């Protein structure tokens, strides 16, 4: 980025005026707004006395580790997992990713020589910027985090292929393949194919394919994502992929349903282990979700209504940054077609200062560095913007404030 000089005095005046307004705004986490949660209000009165699944199962009772077929059928196409290879589980996909990590630590994965706990070293590739909770989860188990740059088409595959081919300690990669958190990138077909086909030194390499935003379109342009499970099988790597997803940002974040999809060998491994942890998932919640969403079209219609609420907030991010920072060379930002986030890139060495200045002015931003392993962005240039939760007017006000902070941080550094 080439940067035009900023007048320090005027940047300081603008910032003093901003602080003087005594704002209390929060654009930290990608949570649905209350109005989005209201779209699923009917769930609160479902299953309305019903307690029988389509196969006759009494959902009030124990059992059915694989989850209800009617719900798995609704989500199988969006998650690109054949319904018989898709499990519907608890209320969160993150806990499934956690489970997958712990189980791989403690029990040999299909294809593995050893449990990960017995490996001299376990490392995961982390495309950056990425999702902080992925990185924190791996770090918590002592997994080494290796950064890989994100590009417009997904992780830099030249780097990924080189690293996984030579290093048997690299056991996995974190991927948010559709409307990635936080860049909004959807992986190109070639990226997905290369991930599915590449040669890995580790025989038990796994792609943690977190398809959290598969139906979360903001526009009618709905980029296609290639089918990783099918491609991996085609290339003789059927066991390479763990697919995760959830209804967290479709119905209720916190009271939705998480999904896990994989090859049959992986599912056998998984079910034998998870069967020690639970006798079955909350099928009452699964039934009310199936009754509420009905089918794929039901999900699609609901996601349109979500987009009606949040697309204007994303449009505001682009409009305000364009008005306030466009042409200054001080910042660039992503214009996602879906998902929950915008990545704002500021001059190197200023992201932390922007976040600090914003905080002092009453605007809470996601900590700078959160998009990188161990919370450390080596360039100190990336800020994740999460515009969904606040009202539109608050988003606008917060972002105008952020722009003031970007200008001041740049001016003071110059
Ligand atoms: N994956 C990604 C990429 C996310 O952004 C989020 C929520 N911010 C999650 C997973 C969490 O999903 P869940 O609620 O299903 O645990």
Q: Is the pLDDT of residue 1 over 70?
A: no
Mean pLDDT of 338-347: 98
> Residue 93 Cα, ligand 1 centroid: separation in angstroms?
6
**CB-based contacts of 210, cutoff 8 Å, min separation 6:** 93, 97, 131, 134, 174, 175, 176, 177, 244, 245
Given the candidates 3.40.630.30, 3.90.1150.10, 3.40.1050.10, 3.30.450.80, the CATH classification of the domain at 8-30+300-413 is: 3.90.1150.10
Q: What are the strands, taking DSSP E only, across 338-381?
A: 342-345, 363-365
Q: Where are the domains of the chain?
A: 8-30+300-413, 63-293
Per residue in 7-45, pLDDT (tens digit) is 899 999 999 999 999 999 999 889 999 999 999 999 999
Per residue in 187-244, pLDDT (tens digit) is 999 999 999 999 999 999 999 999 999 999 999 999 999 999 999 999 999 999 999 9
Where does the pLDDT of residue 414 fall: very low under 50, low under 70, confident under 90, or very high at 90 and above? Answer: confident
For the chain, give the mean pLDDT: 97
The candidate with the shortest Cα–Cα distance to 122, out of 242, 205, 237, is 205
Give bridge partners of residue 384 from the DSSP assignment. 343
The candidate with the shortest Cα–Cα distance to 343, out of 333, 353, 335, 351, is 333
Mutate to test the pocket of ligand 1, among 96, 101, 225, 248 (most ligand atoms within 8 A of CB): 248
Where does the pLDDT of residue 100 fall: very low under 50, low under 70, confident under 90, or very high at 90 and above? Answer: very high
DSSP state string for 253-266: TTSS-EEEE--HHH
Given this model, what pLDDT does residue 2 score? 53
Mean pLDDT of 273-300: 97
Q: Whose CA is nearest to atom 2 of ligand 1?
A: 212
- The ipTM, to two decimals, is 0.99
**For residue 34, which phi and psi values (nearest 5 degrees)?**
-50, -40
CA distance 102 to 99: 5
> Residue 407 Cα, ligand 1 centroid: separation in angstroms?
32
Q: Could you say which architecture CATH assigns to the domain 63-293?
A: 3-Layer(aba) Sandwich (3.40)
> Residue 172 Cα, ligand 1 centroid: separation in angstroms?
18
Which residues does ligand 1 sit against, CB inside 6 Å? 30, 92-94, 131, 176, 181, 210, 212, 246, 248, 253, 258
Given this model, what pLDDT does residue 235 score? 98
3-state secondary structure of 127: strand
The pTM for the full model equals 0.97
Report the atom number in ligand 1 closest to the C-alpha of 247.
15
Mutate to test the pocket of ligand 1, among 131, 244, 260, 285 (most ligand atoms within 8 A of CB): 131
Report the atom number in ligand 1 closest to the C-alpha of 29.
8
3-state secondary structure of 321: helix
The candidate with the shortest Cα–Cα distance to 354, out of 15, 20, 24, 21, is 15
Mean pLDDT of 62-67: 97
Q: Is the pLDDT of residue 300 over 60?
A: yes
Given this model, what pLDDT does residue 371 score? 97
> For the chain, what percent of residues have pLDDT higher than 90?
97
Per residue in 366-393, pLDDT (tens digit) is 999 999 999 999 999 999 999 999 999 9
Mutate to test the pocket of ligand 1, among 93, 134, 213 (most ligand atoms within 8 A of CB): 93
**CB-based contacts of 356, cutoff 8 Å, min separation 6:** none
């Amino acid at each position: 980025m080439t940067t035009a000089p900023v007048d320090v005095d005027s940047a300081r005046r603008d910032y003093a005026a901003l602080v003087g307004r005594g704002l209390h705004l929060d654009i930290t986490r990608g949570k649905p707004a209350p109005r989005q949660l209201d779209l699923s209000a009917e769930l609160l009165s479902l299953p309305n006395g019903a307690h029988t699944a389509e196969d006759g199962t009494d959902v009030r009772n124990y059992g059915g580790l694989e989850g209800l077929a009617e719900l798995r059928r609704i989500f199988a196409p969006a998650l690109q997992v054949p319904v018989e290879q898709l499990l519907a589980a608890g209320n969160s996909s993150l806990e499934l990713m956690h489970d997958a990590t712990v189980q791989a630590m403690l029990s040999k994965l299909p294809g593995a020589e050893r449990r990960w706990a017995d490996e001299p070293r376990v490392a995961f590739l982390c495309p950056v910027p990425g999702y902080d909770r992925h990185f924190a989860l791996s770090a918590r188990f002592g997994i080494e985090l290796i950064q890989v740059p994100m590009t417009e088409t997904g992780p830099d595959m030249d780097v990924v292929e080189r690293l996984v081919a030579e290093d048997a300690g690299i056991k996995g990669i974190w991927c948010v393949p559709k409307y990635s958190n936080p860049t909004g990138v959807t992986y190109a077909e070639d990226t997905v194919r290369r991930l599915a086909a590449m040669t890995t030194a580790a025989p038990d390499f796994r792609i943690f394919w977190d398809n959290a935003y598969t139906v979360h379109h903001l526009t009618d342009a709905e980029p296609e994502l290639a089918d990783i499970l099918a491609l991996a099988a085609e290339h003789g790597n059927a066991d390479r992929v763990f697919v995760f997803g959830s209804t967290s940002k479709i119905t209720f974040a916190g009271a939705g349903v998480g999904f896990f999809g994989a090859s049959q060998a992986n599912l056998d491994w998984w079910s034998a282990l998870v069967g020690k942890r639970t006798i079955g998932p909350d099928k009452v919640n699964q039934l009310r979700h199936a009754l509420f969403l009905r089918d794929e079209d039901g999900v699609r219609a609901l996601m349109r209504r979500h987009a009606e609420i949040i697309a204007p907030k994303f449009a505001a991010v682009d409009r305000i940054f364009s008005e306030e920072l466009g042409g200054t060379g001080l910042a660039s930002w992503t214009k996602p077609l879906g998902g929950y986030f915008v990545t704002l890139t500021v001059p190197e060495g200023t992201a932390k200062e922007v976040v600090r200045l914003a905080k002092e002015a009453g605007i809470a931003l996601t900590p700078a560095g959160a998009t990188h392993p161990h919370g450390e962005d080596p360039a100190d240039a990336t800020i994740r913007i999460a515009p969904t939760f606040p009202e539109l007017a608050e988003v606008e006000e917060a972002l105008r404030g952020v722009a003031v902070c970007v200008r001041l941080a740049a001016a003071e550094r110059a």
